[in-house]
Chains A and B, each alone.
Chain A
Amino acid sequence: MNYPYWQIGIPGGLLIGCVAVLHVFISHFAVGGGAYLVLLERKANREHDEGLRAYVQKHSVFFALLTLVLGAVTGVGIWFTIGLVSPEATSSLIHTFVWGWAIEWVFFFVEIAAALIYAYGWNRMDRAAHMAVGWVYFVAAWASLVIINGIITYMLTPGRWLQTRAFWDGFFNPTYWPSLVLRTGMAVVLAGMFGLITGLRVASPVRERVVRYAGMWVLLGTLFLVLPARWYFADFPPEAKAYFATVLPAMRHVIDAGMLAAAVSFVLALVFAVAKPAWLRAPLVAVILLCGFVVIGSGEYGREVARKPYVIANYIYSNDLRLAGFANFGTSGFAANAKWIDRSGVSQQAQGHEIFLMQCGACHSAHGYRAMAPRVQGWDAPFASEMLLHLPVMRGTMPPFAGNQQDRAAVAAYLASLSPPEQRGTAAADLGRLVFAHRCSMCHTVGDKFRPLAMAGTDADTIDGMLSQLDILNPEMPAFHGNDAERKALASFLASGAAFAGTR
């Protein structure tokens, strides 16, 4: 492996997610908020409403402070984070899209200049010129979304780029348009949500007008989101759709939470902003903004998970290993070729830990986020070593293991060391369920959606016979590791048809 692994105790992917969601939250506001400002300014000018104009001026300062500092610097933060966590993928993105970013930078530059001039120019520019600057801001901000959207969607659906390696093929990829429309809608929603913050802080009657106006942005924006969201998900890669439907209940919960949050903020905006603006209070605005954050967060999380096991689909895996040349690891070994691994006489288990960090550390930790310890409960080294051959078919759609038998043995030794000691003396009735949990549940459920085993009705002896030759029945499966008692208990459990769905 080319780069060192940055050990910070949490998977790097989690850090990227945190920085990115914060940035996306503010940057979408930065896009929609531009239109919000200038349209409201136009309204104030047309209606000769100086109170409203004073509000827009106040909002423009809040807007500039939030977007130019927190928005802009967290954007740089994403650069920093992806370079630290996925340098190989970052380098690849840079080599493919540096001119896209250069164009985005032009818009960013114009955006910053316009935002400052707009915020400072209220009392020194004539009104038409000031509004023109507002429009310049909005166009530049939206144009930077137009650019970055091409790069983000490329990572999920690189489309023809995989064959041609051509900039425009990667840029205008299969999910480009639905994502652009979706993000534009989200920008409208967030413009309204942030408008509520400042709207609450001005005196009546401007307060009610502004709150109602901002509320309408939330409502219309949310309604607008419905169709492009469907369009966007319809264009997802089929594997990703299947994955969403079956694999992780947690994933489904995240998407459901996003939809619920959109619904909650819609209702709150309808009641407390549009219908009864006088009732709106700060805690309600906080709840609405939190909902907006959840919507953004679930959308970004969904997109990232849909990309699994890649960071750039069919090109670079989520652990920063390139598809090209992947097979070489199997012959010449991973540790032997990884530049940063300590090979000077460390124990097999320590070596396994290093390989684990490099190959699994982007998403897993030993005991924290997506912890391995509970996942490898009941595993011994030989079983772990065998399971490492089947990573892509496991729940979670992982990249295949990169390495030879020696590498695998090292990681297996490390994983087995994480497994908590077995509880002895388990009652026979529970043993089958326990063996299922330890040996089967990373790839199967009973009575649930993910690769269900419907074996009720088959007698235990037949199942027992099948368990003895799993790897022959299906080469994707490991041989059964366990003693006779465990095998028989598992067979009875499967024959009983008791449900087992939980992820570990």
Chain B
Amino acid sequence: MSNFIPLPTPDPMPLPAPLWLLLTLLLVTFLLHLLAMNFTVGGVFITSLCSLRRKRDAMAGQLASDLLRILPTSLAFTITLGVAALLFVQVLYGNLLYASSILIGAFWMAVIPVLIVADYTLYYSKSHPNRTGPLWFSLLLLLAIGFVYVNNFTLMLTPQRWLEMYRHSASGLNLNWSEPSLVPRYLHFMLGAFAIAGLVVFVVGVWKRSTDYGRWMLRHGSHWFVAPTVLNFVVGMWFLLALPRPVLLDLFTGGPLAASLIGIGMLLPLAAIVHVVLAARTEKTLLHARLAVATALLTLVVMVAIRQVVRSAYVGSFLRIHDLSAKPQWSVIALFLLLFVAGLATVYAMLTSYFGKSGGELPAN
């Protein structure tokens, strides 16, 4: 009984698309969600920090209110892009995710009201930029949501823990504390979010470096990128070593892909740090800023790829998504792709019309 693993059998219906398409869409939408989430959570953190210094430092106050103008919008897109990733992960890993969601059901369900409160608090802060309390409150709520997500997406990988957890609480008052990689994984994500939001501030600073405010953003943005990224090397190492031994072995012995991804994943952020520092310290600001953005974005791409490799290593012994049969719904897929392109074109046209007249400033409302 104690060794029994209550693994739900995958859905009897075939996959409605070829695996490569579903996997690609899962990883791409997750990457986009990650970008939006990073900017949002990191942005709220930076805004909270700045709002503390509002009285002493006018620039900090300016940045706080500038960020607040766009943070509710970026939260809206974090949610929207997350919905897409959640859709595709259910197709491929639904049998694992539903079970783990139920096991932490109380916390998982709480994400919804907490997110609603966090979102409205953020809107409140936007119209009351002088109050710091609500900002910290929404930051706390967003960080809590991230923690629940990390819990669920690690727990879904370890069904051997499920039954014991279900006996402990069938109401879903569980968290995945027994997962050694839980805390470093969470810290890794959140520090990354802080860094990416810092990078955005840095880039806007580069863009407006002819002004005092621009140079202030450039300098502070570079710090907010570099400090958490350096820290993330340590946390990342902790994360890697906290992975279960078989997973770790699989990563380094399971073929050249995984090991080289990890190698690249360490070099790229190093390069990003160097370019950010060079952009801030040398004359070739624009060139290094571009390289910094490129290497940072590539870092995220590689991190998402590593995450998938780690996931496959975790679940390899009990779920092989390559073995799932597929019966593609081509007519609907074609319609989706068509509408997707039309949708992007529409959004592009609306944005052009919106930003067209005033040369790309942040929304003024």
Residues of A at the B interface (CB closer than 8 Å) are: 2-9, 19, 61, 65, 68-70, 72-74, 76-77, 79-81, 83-84, 87, 90-92, 94-96, 98-103, 105-110, 112-114, 116-117, 119-121, 123-126, 129, 132-133, 136, 140, 165, 167-168, 322, 324, 339-340, 342-344
Contacts and interface: CB of A to CB of B under 8 A. Distances in A.
Q: Give the 8 A-B residue pairs with the shortest CB-CB distance, closest first.
A: A87-B98, A339-B6, A2-B8, A99-B332, A95-B13, A77-B112, A7-B170, A106-B343
B98 A120 contact: no
Contacts of B13: 92, 95-96, 165
Interface stretch (B89-97, B263-271, B282-290, B291-299): B89-97
Contact of A94 (B90, B112, B115): B90
Interface stretch (B101-109, B187-195, B217-225, B272-280): B101-109
B116 interface: yes
B120 interface: yes
A258 to B, nearest CB: 26
B343 A110 contact: yes
B84 A102 contact: yes
Contact of A107 (B7, B94, B343, B358): B343
Contacts of A76: 79, 82-83, 86, 112, 115
Given A76-B79, A94-B90, A113-B347, A87 B116 contact: no
B80 interface: yes
Contact of A106 (B9, B76, B339, B365): B339
Contact of B80 (A5, A112, A124): A112
A80 B16 contact: no
A72 B80 contact: yes
Interface of B: 1, 4, 6-9, 11-17, 25, 73, 76-77, 79-80, 82-84, 86-88, 90-91, 94-95, 97-99, 101-103, 105-106, 108-109, 111-112, 115-116, 119-120, 123, 162-163, 166-167, 170-172, 329, 331-333, 335-336, 339-340, 343, 346-347, 350-351, 353-354, 357-358, 363-365
A91 B94 contact: yes
B358 A124 contact: yes
A319 B8 CA distance: 16
Given A84-B109, A107-B339, A124-B354, 15 more contacts: A3-B99, A4-B102, A6-B170, A6-B171, A69-B123, A79-B86, A87-B102, A90-B90, A91-B98, A94-B11, A94-B94, A98-B87, A99-B335, A112-B80, A120-B354
Given A91-B95, A124-B358, A125-B357, A114 B350 contact: yes
Contacts of A103: 332, 335-336, 339
B26 to A, nearest CB: 11
Most buried by A among B4, B88, B333, B347: B347
Contacts of B17: 98-99
Contacts of B354: 117, 120-121, 124-125, 133
11 contacts: A4-B170, A6-B171, A74-B116, A80-B108, A83-B90, A87-B94, A95-B13, A102-B340, A107-B343, A124-B364, A339-B7
Nearest to A325: B12
A73 B105 contact: no
B108 A112 contact: no
Contacts of B11: 91-92, 94-95
B315 to A, nearest CB: 16
Interface of B is mostly: helix
A440 to B, nearest CB: 35
Nearest to A95: B13
Given A124-B357, A339-B6, A102 B90 contact: no
Nearest to A9: B171
B6 A4 contact: yes
Contact of A84 (B15, B102, B116, B363): B102
A116 B109 contact: no
A112 B79 CA distance: 11
Nearest to A8: B171
Nearest to B345: A110
B87 A116 contact: no
Contacts of A70: 116
A117 B355 CA distance: 10
Contacts of B80: 72, 105, 108-109, 112
A109 B347 contact: yes
Contact of A81 (B97, B109, B167, B172): B109
Contact of B16 (A19, A83, A95, A344): A95
Nearest to A143: B339
Contacts of A91: 11, 90, 94-95, 98
B6 A105 contact: no
A113 B87 CA distance: 20
Nearest to A133: B350
B67 to A, nearest CB: 16
Contact of A83 (B84, B101, B123): B101
A152 to B, nearest CB: 17
Nearest to A147: B339
A479 B364 CA distance: 76
A6 B104 CA distance: 9
A95 B80 CA distance: 20
Nearest to A75: B83
A116 B73 contact: yes
B320 to A, nearest CB: 17
Nearest to B13: A95
Contacts of B331: 167-168
Nearest to B163: A340
Contacts of B112: 19, 73-74, 76-77, 80
B98 A3 contact: yes
Given A3-B98, A91-B98, A98-B16, A106 B340 contact: yes
A99 B336 contact: yes
Contact of A167 (B1, B7, B329, B365): B329
Given A99-B17, A124-B358, A340-B163, A73 B171 contact: no
B339 A119 contact: no
Contacts of B94: 87, 90-91, 94
A432 to B, nearest CB: 42
A117 B351 contact: yes
Given A84-B101, A90-B90, A129 B353 contact: yes
Contacts of A123: 364
Contacts of B88: 98
Nearest to B82: A76
Contacts of B119: 69, 73
B91 A95 contact: yes
Contacts of B73: 116
B102 A119 contact: no
Contacts of B166: 4, 340
A70 B17 CA distance: 32
B123 A65 contact: yes
B171 A7 contact: yes
A116 to B, nearest CB: 6
